[in-house]
Amino acid sequence: MTYRYVGETQMFRTNFNTKTLPLWRKYPIGSQGLHVMNQWRVGVLLCLLGCAHAPERPAPTQSTRASAHYTVTISDNFGGAKVRVCLEGATVRALVPIGDSAGHELHGAWIQGDTLDISRGRIRLPQSLHASCVDYETRFGTPMLRANDSAAIIVSQAQWLWRPDPFPRELDTSIRFVLPADQQVSLPWPHSDAVYFPDDSAFFAGTFGVFGSFDRQAFSAAGTSIDVARLGARPSDEHIRRWLSRAVQATASAGDRFPRKHLHFIIAPQQDQEMAVVFGMVRRGGGSSVLLLSSPDATVEQLEADWVAVHELSHLWLPPLYSKDRWISEGVATYLQEVLRARCGFQTSERAWTRLQAGFERGRRSGTGRRLASESRNMNRTGAYHRVYWAGAAFALEADVRLRKSSKGEMTLLRAISEAQHIWGAQAVPVGAAVLLRALQEASGAGFIEELGAKYAASSDFPSIPYVDSPEYQQVRAQITSRAERACGINAESSR
């Protein structure tokens, strides 16, 4: 097999039609009921899925900082990788995986042919090294996804990227790939020619990587550069551009710009007769990466009408949160998926409020009676997704209504989220809810948000939601979902 160095592109091999990896989608309401995978299936999916490319940047100049230079050779059957990392300028005692589960993929490690101890997934070095090269080998194993009509694989970088331990205070990282001839790689990291330069977050948070043969396109929307890797023949490039451009613009309408300068999408096929988009997920390790599994039979109108893309993109307005606080991040994204789509004409105002009300009723009937923070921490095990998502959406709605009424419409939840961006920026590693709530309170000038968040987290009961149908709130409801054509960039040609 002939190999060559590869930089910018991507690849992915999946077969979502096999029975080996059932997929689920977060269905808040209506006929699109929530389908939850078994815990092990969730683990496999969260561990595996991944992809993206990124903007080019100049190669770094000479520096006295510590450096780690990786060469990653992908096997000819895409079953694993051989990695050489050369370290300079830092004292390193071990190389460690990004997550505990990734350690099971480690097959062996060596220095100049001498075998190293790899207990518990950690590569233990014989002595603290200041400069040396280490070789190790990983197997991708079960977490590969395969598509019938695509010759590519999607894997998380956690399956092949081990980080220095202790991690240097400042580290310059470069990664060069060696692939079988005519194959590609793509990641959401800055690159120059055949070399990627991830920032430190790539060592601590997962992202999506694609290897193999696939189609790609690039365009911009809402001031954001967008790269797309498409596995399979459909949707067409034209439909993908229209669908994703409008989803990005709708999400950006929550503020004065989209919260990220660069985005990468992976569009992979998942056959479904009822749903246009079957599943979505965001990853942030080193860059913003969005995976969307869409039905190849979906029309562009059906893709635009679907809520999944706006939901996943809405997550990027907030920092990632600890598991016990995910009721806030999932709740805000659920609220925004309805409000922003109404503001941008993807659905009527009446439809948005009907969906919100139905979602709250489903949330009220769901759950195990735990406090919301505990319910959030355990939802992958208990399946209490409706309770967590819709109680969080109720928090977002109550905060939005109270902000609008107390400020006579001058302050909204959307504005508070937009103005709080400088607090967390492109944060990739989870933070606590206190960081988010305090930032929203300071940005809005309101004194109730931290207290409201604490009240929701401690509550075992689903909140009362008079804001959805009470005549008292009719005017503020109209304000929340009123059309915002200028912010949404809607024109007669693209509107349905």
**Count of CA atoms in the C-beta half-sphere (13 A) of 455:** 12
pLDDT in tens, the chain (496 residues): 433 333 322 322 333 333 233 333 443 444 333 333 333 333 334 343 333 333 444 444 444 689 999 999 999 888 899 999 999 988 899 999 998 777 788 999 999 889 999 988 999 998 776 678 999 999 986 544 555 556 888 989 999 999 999 999 999 999 999 998 888 988 999 888 779 999 999 999 999 988 988 898 999 999 999 999 999 888 999 999 999 999 999 999 999 899 999 999 999 988 887 899 999 999 999 999 999 999 999 999 999 999 999 999 999 999 999 999 999 999 999 999 999 999 999 999 999 999 999 999 999 999 999 999 999 999 999 999 999 999 999 999 999 999 999 999 999 999 999 999 999 988 899 999 999 999 999 999 999 999 999 999 999 999 999 999 999 999 999 999 999 888 888 543 333 3
pLDDT of residue 129: 67
pLDDT of residue 126: 84
pLDDT of residue 50: 34
Task: Name beta bridge partners: 269.
Answer: 294
Q: Which residues contact 455 (CB under 8 A, 6 or more apart)?
A: none
69 CB burial (10 A radius; 0-12, 13-18, 19+):
middle
Q: Which tokens in the block code for residue 403?
A: 């902000």
Question: Under DSSP, is residue 254 helix (H, G, I), strand (E, B) or coil?
Answer: coil
Cα 211 to Cα 20, 73, 111, 206, 391, distances in angstroms: 20, 11, 27, 16, 39
pLDDT of residue 145: 59
Q: Which residues contact 408 (CB under 8 A, 6 or more apart)?
A: none
pLDDT of residue 13: 30
Neighbours of 266 (CB within 10 A): 33
d(CA 81, CA 475): 59
Neighbours of 456 (CB within 10 A): 22
* Range list of H helices, 344-432: 349-365, 372-382, 385-406, 413-419, 421-424
Q: Name the one residue in this structure whose structure tokens are 């400020």.
A: 407
CB 202 within 8 A of CB 97: no
**Four-residue CA torsion sign, 317, 318, 320, 322:** negative
pLDDT of residue 143: 45
d(CA 401, CA 405): 6
Closest alpha carbon to 340 in 494, 496, 239, 487: 487
pLDDT of residue 19: 29
CB 204 within 8 A of CB 428: yes
d(CA 179, CA 80): 11
Q: Name the one residue in this structure whose structure tokens are 């959030």.
A: 376
Measure the CA dihedral 417/420/426/428, to 10°.
Answer: -80
Task: Name beta bridge partners: 321.
Answer: 431
Tell me: cis bond preceding 166? Omega within 30 of 0 counts: yes
**Count of CA atoms in the C-beta half-sphere (13 A) of 424:** 28
pTM, whole model, 2 decimals? 0.85
Q: Name the one residue in this structure whose structure tokens are 């954001």.
A: 224
